[in-house]
Amino acid sequence: MKLIPYWQDTATPFAGADPGPVEGSVDVAVIGGGFSGLSAALALARRGATVAVLEAGRVMAGASGRNGGQVNNGTALDVADLAARLGLDRARRLYQAYDAAVDTVERIAGEEQIACDFRRSGKIKLAAKPGHYEKMARGFDLLHGKIDPETELIPAARIREEVNSHLFHGGLLYRKSAQMHVGRFGAGLANAAQRHGARIYEDAPVTALKRLGGAAHRVITRRGALIAKQVLVATGPSRTGPFFFFRRRIIPVGSFIVATEPLSQDQADTIMPTRRTATTTKNIGHYFRLAPDNRLIFGGRARFALSSPTSDRTSGRILEAGLRDAFPQLGAVRIDYCWGGIIDLTADRLPRAGEHEGLFYALGYSGHGTQMSVHMGQQMAALMAGDAAANPLRGLAWPAIPGHFGPPWFMPFVGLYYRVQDYLH
């Protein structure tokens, strides 16, 4: 079993990083070489801006290259709950932003000819308990009638047509959702940004930011410094560097995934005949899909711990048990890959983007960023060029999390709370 992401092991890595020192002046410095940063760099470079991407490690080494490869529409929150909190019009606009995000991924893959196995598969949200399906049904008229007419309720009697498991009690089908090979897309995105003129620096963690006036900053890294007229913070859950404002508002949470050996065609057809992406309704639930080579990619919040080799192995054993419980018909299928990553979770599970004290930012995708991070990179490029309406997240308040100053000391208590909620509801 390899303790590396399947996506990174089966993609040609980006090899075009700038070997020289970080120096000079640029229109925009983008901090972070994941989907948000690379997408923004591509859009900015295509607009004619000079751009430097500053990545602390390797391009796509963080959450963008460690997720489940699901390009899903629909918000992280139940749309009825979102409408009750923000009003129907705002909930609809946020939902539509996620629809647009799937379109953005598809458009970029097509325009830049990125071979990433993008496919509009649809997503099935699986009810882990009968009561969860009843809640889906109660909110369905609002979702289907006023927000997304392409959704469909799948009752318990038909759910095995979607996912052949004894665990689920119906589901909600989102037809606009997709899937892709995130390693190949990320490398293609980096190559495209570079091809259009962006300079990409790896092993260049930002250690200090000195504001020069307005949005201009001197950006200091371990490999040198440069002057930028604008700076975009797209670091995800960065735990180092001069990003204290963001750390107080983002909780780094571990998420873990295993990938099986390639299944036979009969096995794949048996467990997931429609080949959709799948998520479950529990707080500590699972998400899964089949890869292009018929491996089952099976992930979840196995433990409320951060990723490390030891943590990944422990979480992998928990996920393997969950996989075998969901699909006992697979027998002793071999686990070939196990890996973890860190999610940038916000308190309300909605991402944030905008400007704070001269720094532009797009962060907090809360485990639903594969598509939204790509989309927000494009939207932030438009915002930084002067189009304030380009930001679909504008106006969302973002208070600091009380008692949170960096390390998430409270995560074991959060994990216990969610386990109790899953047991009771």
Q: Using 50, 70 and 90 to split pLDDT, how confident is the model at 309?
A: confident
Of 239, 371, 354, 364, residue with least CA distance to 307: 239
Q: What is the pLDDT of residue 239?
A: 81
Cβ atoms of residues 368 and 95 within 8 Å: no
Per residue in 223-273, pLDDT (tens digit) is 999 999 999 999 988 888 999 999 999 988 888 999 999 999 999 999 999
Cβ atoms of residues 415 and 404 within 8 Å: no
Q: Using 50, 70 and 90 to split pLDDT, how confident is the model at 301?
A: confident
End-to-end CA distance of the chain: 35
Written as one string, the DSSP assignment of 214-230 is TTEEEEEETTEEEEEEE
Taking domain 6-414, whether its CATH number is 3.30.70.640 is answered by no
Q: What is the pLDDT of residue 304?
A: 63
Q: What is the pLDDT of residue 284?
A: 76
Q: What is the pLDDT of residue 380?
A: 98
Cβ atoms of residues 419 and 284 within 8 Å: yes
Give the C-alpha separation, 420 to 77, whole Å: 19
Q: Is the pLDDT of residue 302 over 80?
A: no
64 against 421, higher pLDDT:
64
Give the C-alpha separation, 114 to 362, whole Å: 24
Give the C-alpha separation, 376 to 72, whole Å: 15
Cβ atoms of residues 357 and 230 within 8 Å: no
Per residue in 185-234, pLDDT (tens digit) is 999 999 999 999 999 999 999 999 999 999 999 999 999 999 999 999 99
Q: What is the pLDDT of residue 191?
A: 98
Give the C-alpha separation, 216 to 242, whole Å: 16
Of 299, 296, 288, residue with least CA distance to 259: 296
> For residue 418, which phi and psi values (nearest 5 degrees)?
-65, -35
Q: Where is average pLDDT lowest: 70-84, 106-120, 406-420?
A: 406-420
Q: What is the pLDDT of residue 418?
A: 61
Average pLDDT over residues 327-353: 95
Percent of the chain at pLDDT > 70 equals 96
Q: Is the pLDDT of residue 411 over 70?
A: no
Cβ atoms of residues 18 and 354 within 8 Å: no
Per residue in 158-177, pLDDT (tens digit) is 999 999 999 999 999 999 99
Q: Is the pLDDT of residue 75 over 70?
A: yes
Of 26, 157, 31, 142, residue with least CA distance to 84: 142
282 alpha-carbon distance from chain centroid = 18
Type of residue at 316: G
Beta strand segments in 58-166, E = 70-71, 123-126, 151-154
Instruction: Supply 42's token pair.
Output: 């591509």
Q: How far is CA 287 from CA 76, 167, 275, 306, 388, in A?
A: 13, 13, 13, 18, 35
Average pLDDT over residues 140-145: 96
